[in-house]
Amino acid sequence: MSLISLDAPGREILLMGNEAIARGALEAGISVAAAYPGNPSSEIIGSLAEVAKEMGLYVEWSVNEKVALEVAAAAATSGLNALVAMKQNGLNVASDFLLNLNMTGIRGGLVIVVCDDPAGISSTNEEDSRVFARLADLPLLEPSTFGEAKEMVRFAFEVSRAIENVCIVRSVTRISHARGNVILGPLPSTRLVPYFDTTRSFSALPPSITHPVAHRRLKQAADMLAESRFNGYSGPETPELLVIASGAGVLFSGEVIDTLGLEARVGLLKIGTTWPLPEKLILERLRTAEKVLFAEEVDPVLETNVKALFADNNQRLPRITFLGKKSGTIPDLGELSPGLMTRVIADLTGTAIPDIDADYAESARDALENFTPFRSLAFCPGCPHRASFWAIKKALALDGRNGVLFGDIGCYGLGFLPTGFRQPKTLHAMGSGAGMASGFGKLHDLGATQPALTVCGDSTFYHAAIPALINGLHHRSNFLMILLDNSATAMTGFQPHPGSPVDAMGDPAPPVLLEDLCAAMGIKTLIRDPFDLDDAAMTIFELIQETGTKVLILRQECALVRAKKTPRRYRVHVDPAKCIGEECGCNRFCTRVFRCPGLNWDVSAGKSVIDEAICAGCGVCADLCPRGAIVKESA
């Protein structure tokens, strides 16, 4: 249940950062929102979709981020306010369009919220999207609290409408997926009517004309950003250390200055408008600075830009020591944290960190070392991907030619871990598995003997894998594409995709079926149930004996989706009389190799046991047990 449409101006409620962003967009009067799901950005469009009907919006889960931006641009060239949300990888996908859209501008308001994921908590990569702002000559804002996230989005629409170009808001995991107080503002009572003014055209061509326009618009934005309330300084007039911070760095630095009692010695310059910089404010602070520390996450964006500003003005400024990522004071990757900022600021100011009782510290270290077994990620109990990778593993073993499985992005990306029996050998971007398999499948002409396979989720297929499949088919590449169809965009929270019978707003939508698409391309396409392990394995084996491009759809609903709708399929238990545990002929086959979280090893009994609090009742393990000791009964 989303509270983002609560019409209660002045009320203070707890919202997730992404909900605060969505609320800001509502307060700014958006009409259209589009995205492809990707953590940590997914809840922005998710929560807007929930209130779309009530608020009179059009909200969609687009097929990919580039299309999402195009959908939003259509609204924004028709005078509306539109929001697009994506994670860092999504901005890469959308960037081709973005770096043309910035040249033409828009007529309404268009805000891109990009949620970066420092440390890659739910990503394959770590990337700093702020560099796109400079690349695209577009303004970029960085919130540091939930309330500010909401305010900034509202302001970003003002900027966008004023300069007739896109405005970017960059969030991070610790804002987007955190929660905090947000004071609700008023919601607009009027709606804009879309109209594409055909007396105007939006052509990026010729750059000799459009690029200067983009520069002019950015300059206009710079003035608005400099005037905004998102930048500010707190601290002594002449601090011995000036911390220049953005995003989460603002909160961590502020708290550390407070905790260490350094308010009179250390100043904090908060930058919310990262590009273009509020030059006047920064120069003012640099005039009285000796030592500057940059507190920002991932790349030294703020750091590099402030140093450039310093270079341009060095004749009017004192000598300053700059500390940050370049100096190695702050790591050039990952997240900031209160612990890290405490160490750095204490060190730079010669402050002692309050210490804890030595015995306690020793006991705590012992707890971490000896009482906290590492929890590696694993597919959920009952997850069809575990069964699918099992079938792939078996097929490749039977085949014996050392086949190569190219991986892709989704929950099944975890397949490279033991939970997926380490089957995929590559993991890059959406759709890249199919592209690489298409390429490897042509190497057979050059003497390669290993079969080529790729796995791809249903949502990823629509997003970016179709062109690669067409490429392989057209070029007579020898590979098998296995579509792990769990009927959901599971990794990000079960959003619908073009294969779903409903859209983001819950309206019926014509599903574009995987098998129909493949059939239309003329590709041999089979559908199997991954829970029927032997059938799935033998089908994969047979398909990789054939030449050409083939598709196998392994279809079984996501265990989490299934659990919400239907009771367990089976009640599963272990018959201790039959379980031979660690003996030759078993060697804990089910727990040691299959590794489902619902299946435990009872150390004292030397037998397997089902954990009823965890088991999802898929029954697959019962089919694997070499002694028939795991019993499944229809529930």
Partner 1 sequence: MEKDPYNVVVTGVGGQGNVLASQLIGAILVDKGLKVTIGETYGASQRGGSVMSHVRISEKRQYGPLIPPRCADLVLALEPSEAARVLGEFGNPATISVVNTRPVYPVDVISGDLTYPDIDRLFEKIKSLSAKTYFLPATDRALELGSPILANIILMGAAAGAGLLPITEDDLAKAITERVSAAKVDINRTAFRVGADLVNDVPAG
Partner 2 sequence: MERVSSQDALKRAVLDEGLCAACGACVGGCPYMTTFRGKTVVLDRCTVEHGRCYRYCPMTEFDPDAVSALVFERPHDTEALGHLDRVISSQAADPAVAALGQGGGTVTALMLLALEEGIIDSAVLTRILPGEEYARGVVATTTEEIQAAAGSKFVGSHSLAAVRQALDAGHRRIGVVGLPCQVRSLRKMALYDLKQENLKERIALVVGLFCNWAFSSRDFAAFLAPRFGPTSIKRFQIPPPPANVLEVETDDGATRVPLDELRPLIQESCRTCPDMTGEFADVSVGMYEGMPGWNTLIVRTSLGTRLIEDAVRTGRLRTDAFPDSNLEHLKKAALQKRKRASQA
Q: Which of 29, 40, 109, 499 binds partner 1 (CB under 8 A)?
A: 40
> In terms of CB distance, is 40 or 105 closer to partner 1?
40
d(Cα 599, Cα 618) in Å, to the nearest integer?
A: 12
CA distance readout (Å), 331 to 119, 322, 328, 336, 413:
11, 14, 6, 9, 27
- Cβ-proximal residues to 135 (8 Å cutoff; 6+ apart), any chain: 95, 99
> In terms of CB distance, is 202 or 589 closer to partner 2?
589
| CA 329 distance to own-chain centroid | 28
Is there a cis peptide before residue 9, judged by omega within 30 degrees of 0? no
* 397 interface partner picked from partner 2, partner 1, none, CB below 5 to 8 A per type: partner 2
d(Cα 556, Cα 385) in Å, to the nearest integer?
A: 9
CB of 2 to partner 1, least distance (A): 9
Q: CB of 590 within 8 A of CB of 618?
A: no
Tally of CA atoms within 13 A in the half-sphere of 113 that contains its CB: 41
> In terms of CB distance, is 326 or 627 closer to partner 2?
627
Q: Which of 188, 207, 418, 506 binds partner 1 (CB under 8 A)?
A: 418
> In terms of CB distance, is 37 or 79 closer to partner 1?
37
Amino acid identity at 525: T
Q: Which of 111, 112, 437, 560 binds partner 1 (CB under 8 A)?
A: 560
581-600 binders of partner 1 (CB under 8 A)? 588, 591-593, 595-597, 599-600
d(Cα 150, Cα 224) in Å, to the nearest integer?
A: 18
> In terms of CB distance, is 265 or 393 closer to partner 2?
393
> In terms of CB distance, is 567 or 585 closer to partner 2?
585
* The one segment of 95-103, 263-271, 297-305, 414-422 that binds partner 1 by CB under 8 A: 414-422
**47 closest CA partner among 81, 20, 75, 7:** 20
d(Cα 320, Cα 581) in Å, to the nearest integer?
A: 68
CB of 274 to partner 1, least distance (A): 19
Beta bridge partners of 202: none
> Where does 426-465 have alpha helices with state H?
432-440, 458-460
CB of 394 to partner 2, least distance (A): 6
Binding site for partner 2 (CB under 8 A): 393-394, 397-398, 400, 583-587, 589, 592-593, 624, 626
CB of 395 to partner 2, least distance (A): 10
DSSP H/E element including 539: helix 533-545
CB of 447 to partner 2, least distance (A): 21
Q: What is the CA radius of gyration of the chain?
A: 27
Q: CB of 169 within 8 A of CB of 113?
A: yes
* The one segment of 155-163, 322-330, 371-379, 499-507 that binds partner 1 by CB under 8 A: 371-379
**Is residue 197 within the footprint of partner 1 (CB under 8 A)?**
no
Give the sign of the dihedral formed by CA 155, CA 161, CA 164, CA 167. Answer: positive
**Is residue 378 within the footprint of partner 1 (CB under 8 A)?**
yes
Site track for partner 1 across 234-273, x = CB under 8 A: --------------x--xx-xxx--x--------------
Q: CB of 48 within 8 A of CB of 22?
A: yes
CB of 418 to partner 2, least distance (A): 11
486-505 binders of partner 1 (CB under 8 A)? 491
Q: CB of 89 within 8 A of CB of 430?
A: yes
Q: Which of 74, 95, 97, 122 binds partner 1 (CB under 8 A)?
A: 122
CB of 108 to partner 1, least distance (A): 32
Q: What backbone phi and psi angles, to 5 degrees, belong to 569? A: -75, -45
* 147 interface partner picked from partner 1, partner 2, none, CB below 5 to 8 A per type: partner 1
Q: Which of 189, 372, 449, 604 binds partner 1 (CB under 8 A)?
A: 372
**Is residue 75 within the footprint of partner 1 (CB under 8 A)?**
no
> In terms of CB distance, is 54 or 582 closer to partner 2?
582
**Is residue 446 within the footprint of partner 1 (CB under 8 A)?**
no
Rounded to 10 deg, the angle between the 279-286 and 301-312 helix axes is 70
CB of 155 to partner 1, least distance (A): 19
Q: Which of 170, 174, 394, 550 binds partner 1 (CB under 8 A)?
A: 174
* 122 interface partner picked from partner 2, partner 1, none, CB below 5 to 8 A per type: partner 1
Q: How big is the chain, counted in residues?
A: 635
**Is residue 181 within the footprint of partner 1 (CB under 8 A)?**
yes
CB of 598 to partner 2, least distance (A): 19
Q: What backbone phi and psi angles, to 5 degrees, belong to 391? A: -65, -40
d(Cα 590, Cα 610) in Å, to the nearest integer?
A: 11
> In terms of CB distance, is 614 or 624 closer to partner 2?
624
d(Cα 302, Cα 397) in Å, to the nearest integer?
A: 52
* The one segment of 23-31, 277-285, 331-339, 510-518 that binds partner 1 by CB under 8 A: 331-339
**Is residue 521 within the footprint of partner 1 (CB under 8 A)?**
no
- Cβ-proximal residues to 566 (8 Å cutoff; 6+ apart), any chain: none
* 415 interface partner picked from partner 1, partner 2, none, CB below 5 to 8 A per type: none
Beta bridge partners of 181: 14
Both tokens of 287, joined, read 């005039």
**Is residue 371 within the footprint of partner 1 (CB under 8 A)?**
yes
**564 closest CA partner among 382, 347, 367:** 382
Give the sign of the dihedral formed by CA 77, CA 79, CA 83, CA 88. Answer: positive
- Cβ-proximal residues to 6 (8 Å cutoff; 6+ apart), any chain: 13, 184
CB of 61 to partner 1, least distance (A): 18
CB of 531 to partner 2, least distance (A): 18
Q: Which of 178, 395, 554, 580 binds partner 1 (CB under 8 A)?
A: 178
> Where does 228-276 have alpha helices with state H?
248-259
Site track for partner 1 across 208-227, x = CB under 8 A: --------------------
339-368 binders of partner 1 (CB under 8 A)? 339, 342, 356-357, 360, 363-368
